């Protein structure tokens, strides 16, 4: 009795392993694109948080007068565009901050918040 594998069994195993590797390689492209988009969204979230913190500090700096910090916009090097507005209504400061990116998968994230005047 002979032991071992026939040529057909070896070719079939090689074919199955090759198909699995091709399928795995096919998922790497979309996975890399999703990771890149995740980094941009993380950057946009940091931009939003940073701008709200700056607006809060500006509001505190202007105390005891309750006046709205000026609005504006800023284009960052990584392509994230932030814009913000501020208004005073009834002793409350209302801020709206938008961070957007117009790349292959454009998006815009918005934060709206209210803070009592100091």
The Cα–Cα gap between 44 and 78 comes to 10
List the chain domain ranges.
7-116
For the residues 52-61, what does the mean pLDDT come to?
91
pTM above threshold 0.85 = no
pLDDT confidence tier of residue 91, bands split at 50, 70 and 90: confident
For the residues 5-29, what does the mean pLDDT come to?
89
Contact between 75 and 81 under an 8 Å Cβ cutoff? The reply is yes
Is the confidence at residue 50, as pLDDT, over 70?
yes
- Taking residue 89's Cβ as centre, other Cβ atoms within 10 Å add up to 9
Bridge partners of 43, per DSSP, are none
Residues recorded for the chain: 118
Composition of the chain by helix, strand, coil, percent to 5: 45, 30, 25
Is the confidence at residue 46, as pLDDT, over 90?
yes
**Pick from 96, 98, 92: which is nearest to 115 by CA?**
92
**Pick from 93, 74, 97: which is nearest to 84 by CA?**
97
């Amino acid at each position: 009795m002979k032991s071992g594998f026939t040529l057909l069994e070896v070719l079939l195993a090689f074919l199955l392993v090759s198909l699995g590797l091709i399928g795995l390689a096919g998922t790497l492209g979309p996975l890399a694109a999703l990771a890149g988009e995740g980094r941009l969204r993380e950057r946009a979230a940091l931009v939003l948080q940073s701008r709200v913190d700056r607006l809060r500090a500006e509001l505190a700096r202007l105390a005891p007068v309750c006046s709205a910090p000026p609005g504006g916009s800023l284009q960052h090097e990584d392509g994230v565009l932030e814009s913000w507005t501020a208004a005073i209504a009834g002793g409350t400061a209302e801020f709206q901050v938008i961070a957007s990116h117009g790349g292959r998968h454009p998006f815009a994230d918005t934060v709206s918040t209210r803070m009592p005047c100091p």
